[in-house]
Chain A
Amino acid sequence: MDDEALVERSRHGDRDAFAALVTRYQDELYTMALRLLGTPADAADVVQETFLRAYVKLPELRGASVRAWLYRVAVNCGHDVQRRAVRRPTEPLEDREGNIVELPDPALGPEATALARERAAAVRAALMTLPEVFRIAVVLRDVNDLTYEEMAQSLRIPLGTVRSRLNRGRALLASALRASPAMNTHAHGEG
């Protein structure tokens, strides 16, 4: 069943239809929030709050893409959560209850796995150095693969602003990564 049909059924009181939307989008919204905020607890808060807000605001969703609308709600929630949790120390991406938040690639050997982890950490750290508006643009495009049009809808900004923010954000990311020792380390057998 497509998003619009699920929303329509939800509007008519079908709680299970809304739960299906949650199942469909919770992981990608969590990934977005994790890249934006950097901490699993905050990211989970964002997802929970996003769906709670969306749940009571469904009647407002008319004529817009469900996906773009959910991202807009999530970005706003992320902004609010970040403001509330701005003093919270950064936590590791592996949570303390043993939940696997990010899965390693089983095809890699131990050394390559260690290097990949190091590089992934460098990328995440570089991402967190970006000013929020640029980080949002980069995450929506390069983490969640939103189109420029979906980004414009989600952020309510013109397409030209989407392009300029994305270009600026990516350039800042490249600049931050150039300075990262992890990105200049090569595994055995690599160039």
Chain B
Amino acid sequence: MPPKHVEDLFSGAYDDALTPREAERFAAHLRECDACASAYEAFHASVDALRALPAARMPVMVHLPSTPPVAEQRAFPVRLPRAWRPQLRAGFATGIAAAAAVVLVVLAVSHQGGGGTSPGSSTALEAPSSTGGATTTPGCPAPAAASASQQLTSGFDNREVKTEPDRPGQQLVLATASDHYAPGSQVAVYSLLTAPLPAAAAANGTVAPTTSVAAVPCVRVEAASALPSQGGTAPVPAGGRAVFATPAPAAAGSGAGSSIGAGAVPGSPLTPILYFSIPPNTPSGTVLHVVATVPAGYPQPGDPAFSVDLVITVR
């Protein structure tokens, strides 16, 4: 098995995307290391095999609406439920966050390379949360409103954005500082929910859409398979995953003398919505999924649920 720093270059080498210096070092290393050369040959062959699959053809005709495309345009396609509007006038960022109060972050664990997961067992990751222990959605902290200028962009190497074409302007973002973490390290998870809201009518009677941003306020963590250093198992509820913790609401980030902010992104104006620690003996290659879901029926009755899936790989 090649060292990770060599294996990390395989894809770039395949695509001729290495810098000249990297390419030179990579070639030199393969000349001296038979195991690495053999592994790269297998890597190359497998990508070649995938690329050799024939293209497929759409077997049925695509049906389009009989109306012209622009006839479907709506000025404000997303309108919040009537029940929310008073709150939104008072402070709509908070209102949006409150509407998403049942958003869940699900931490599912899958380990590459076999071993399998046991649907009948589960285990908790280490959450430095004062709340700890199995809990459910009740008791969520008050939503933390964020200004519209705050974005999950700089400082985040790992970011997932989910948008719905049927809900223009609405997006759910999950982010962490990195997409690779070593066993034992603490991970801070950030989230923003953005939704379009109608602004006050202008003098000419037109109404322009505006956008509010808020931190997703309520999370819980579930684990679907056992990780090392976690011996205990617990009954798995309906849905196949066990809840193990909700994050500490105000403890995140700024608590003086608290170690809880160790995994946070320096300089970020946002407070992480969730911290968790990766168990020390977690095998390299273990993949963690952090999934935030906006429930069905939001913002309009009948809307399907949608979620965003953020992947973290253990080094």
Contacts and interface: CB of A to CB of B under 8 A. Distances in A.
Interface of A: 10-15, 18-19, 22, 26-31, 34-35, 40, 43-44, 47-48, 51-60, 72-73, 76, 80, 93, 95, 97, 99-103, 105, 119-120, 123-124, 126-127, 131-134, 138, 141-143, 148, 156-158, 160-161, 163-168, 170-175, 177-178, 183
Given A11-B70, A102-B54, A76 B164 contact: yes
14 contacts: A13-B69, A26-B58, A34-B56, A56-B72, A60-B168, A72-B163, A76-B164, A142-B47, A157-B161, A161-B158, A163-B17, A167-B8, A167-B12, A174-B46
A168 B313 contact: yes
A171 B62 contact: no
A27 B60 contact: no
B239 interface: no
Contacts of B193: none
Interface in B1-35: 7-8, 10-12, 14-15, 17
Nearest to A57: B165
B53 A163 contact: no
Contact of A47 (B12, B14, B58, B306): B58
Given A18-B69, A55-B65, A167 B11 contact: yes
A58 B70 contact: yes
A174 B58 contact: no
A31 B46 contact: no
Given A143-B51, A174-B47, 17 more contacts: A10-B69, A11-B70, A29-B58, A44-B60, A51-B64, A73-B165, A76-B162, A80-B306, A119-B49, A123-B46, A123-B53, A134-B311, A142-B51, A164-B8, A167-B12, A170-B43, A173-B50
Contacts of B304: 80
Contacts of A13: 68-71
Contacts, number: 183
Contacts of A174: 39, 42-43, 45-47
Given A34-B56, A168-B313, A51 B62 contact: yes
A157 B69 contact: no
A60 B62 CA distance: 21
Nearest to A54: B165
Given A58-B69, A148-B17, A174-B42, A132 B309 contact: yes
A131 B55 contact: no
A61 B107 CA distance: 33
A163 B59 contact: no
A145 to B, nearest CB: 8
Interface residues of B, number: 60
B69 A171 contact: no
Contacts of B56: 27, 30-31, 34, 40, 43, 93, 101-102
B62 A22 contact: yes
Given A56-B73, A76-B164, A142-B51, A170 B14 contact: yes
A30 B42 CA distance: 28
B137 interface: no
B64 A103 contact: no
B64 A18 contact: yes
Contacts of A22: 62, 64
A138 B50 contact: yes
A185 B130 CA distance: 56
A171 to B, nearest CB: 6
Contact of A158 (B53, B68, B157): B157
B59 A99 contact: yes
Contact of B46 (A73, A103, A167, A177): A177
Contacts of A11: 69-70
Contacts of B179: 161, 164-165
Contacts of B62: 22, 26, 47-48, 51
Given A27-B58, A143-B53, A171 B64 contact: no
Contacts of B289: 131
Given A15-B64, A177-B49, A171 B70 contact: no
